[in-house]
Amino acid sequence: MRSAALTGGLQSRIGWRTVKLVQMKANLNQPGKHVDLNDYIVTDREILGGEPVFRGTRVPVVSLFEHLESECPLDEFLENFPSVTRETAVAVLMGAQELAQELARR
C-alpha cells in the first residue's frame, strides 16, 4: 500500500514529467525486466562510511526518501542535489517499489 501511495504522490509532484515515468515503467514492465539498484546505488567504506549513496555522488539515498516523506516535491530534491539526475532518482524509487511489492508477495 505504501508503494502505491508513493507512486501516486510521485506522479502528482512531477506533473507533466509523468509521461517519462510512465515510459520508464512500461520498459520495466516487459517480462524479465526490472530495476537493478546496483546500477544506481553504491556502498563504499570510503564514501560516507559505507552509507548507500547514488552512484557517482556523495548523496545518501536515504535523503531522497526523507525529502519525499516530508512532502517535498522531487524537483526540490533534484535542486538540492544537482549531482543526482531525475532518471536516477526515479529509477531508485521504482526499484524500491519493486522490492516492496516482492516483500508483500512473500
Residue 24's pLDDT is 58
Instruction: Give me the DSSP letters along the chain.
Output: -HHHHHHHHHHHHHGGGHHHHHHHHHHHTSTT----GGGTEE-BTTBGGG--EETTS--BHHHHHHHHHTT--HHHHHHH-TTS-HHHHHHHHHHHHHHHHHHHH-
Residue 59's pLDDT is 98
32: confidence class by pLDDT, cuts 50, 70, 90: low
Each residue of 39-67: pLDDT tens digit?
999 999 999 999 999 999 999 999 999 99
